[in-house]
Amino acid sequence: MSGIFSKLFKQGPGIKNVITLFHSPNSPASLRVYTLLKQANAASVAHATEDQASSHEAHNKAEKTEFDLDVTEADPTPDQLRSILEFVGSGSASKVVQGATDEGDAVQKLKGGGSAFQRPVTVDWDQGKVVLGDNESEIMKLIREIPKETGKV
């Protein structure tokens, strides 16, 4: 399923990857991830603006990693949860939803409400990749692996 969203919805150049942070403002780990993603996104937007404002040919050809950041405090939908579990692997349900034994159990526990969903979870839907928790190096790796957009002259 990796890249399905990309194949279905991306229509051409200039379309950015979407990275979603399932966030909890009460969690120090989640706040660290939120800050890191905001800074990385701001840096990518700043570089893109520089490239667009410049007429320097070499600058226009520079590669830039751009992504749209979606931050939500809501639980994932059942379909989003299934995708997340597929991305992290079948044996990781309990790392995503507390106490879950498998995908079906994770969906049921999430429907039951409460705080079973383990935040922060960072998802690159287009690449089919997930980072659980606040592992900064893994999050930066996820961002660096976004396909780079090469500016046209």
Q: Per residue in 47-85, pLDDT tens?
A: 554 445 554 444 443 445 688 999 999 999 999 999 999
Burial class (CB in 10 A: 0-12, 13-18, 19+), 30: buried
DSSP-based three-state secondary structure for 22: strand
Token look-up 């998802």 returns 123
Question: What's 39's domain CATH number?
Answer: 3.40.30.10
Axis-axis angle for helices 28-53, 136-144 (nearest 10): 30
pTM, 2 dp: 0.78
- Read off the tokens for 33: 């991830």
Which pLDDT value is given to residue 132?
96
* 136 falls within a domain: yes
**Residue with the larger pLDDT of the pair 36 and 54:** 36
Q: Does residue 27 carry a pLDDT above 50?
A: yes
* 153 falls within a domain: no
* 96 falls within a domain: yes
- Read off the tokens for 12: 């051409």
Cross-strand bridge partners of residue 149: 64
Determine the Cα–Cα distance for residues 126 and 148; give it in Å rounded to an integer.
13
Is the torsion defined by CA of 132, 136, 141, 143 positive or negative?
A: positive
- The whole domain housing 28 covers 4-9+17-147
* 36 falls within a domain: yes
* 102 falls within a domain: yes
Determine the Cα–Cα distance for residues 121 and 132; give it in Å rounded to an integer.
5
* 83 falls within a domain: yes
Q: What's the structural domain count of the chain?
A: 1
* 112 falls within a domain: yes
Instruction: Provide φ and ψ at 67, rounded to 5°.
Output: -150, 155
* 152 falls within a domain: no
Which pLDDT value is given to residue 11?
47
Q: Does residue 150 carry a pLDDT above 70?
A: no
Which pLDDT value is given to residue 62?
41
Question: Mean per-residue pLDDT for 20-24?
Answer: 96
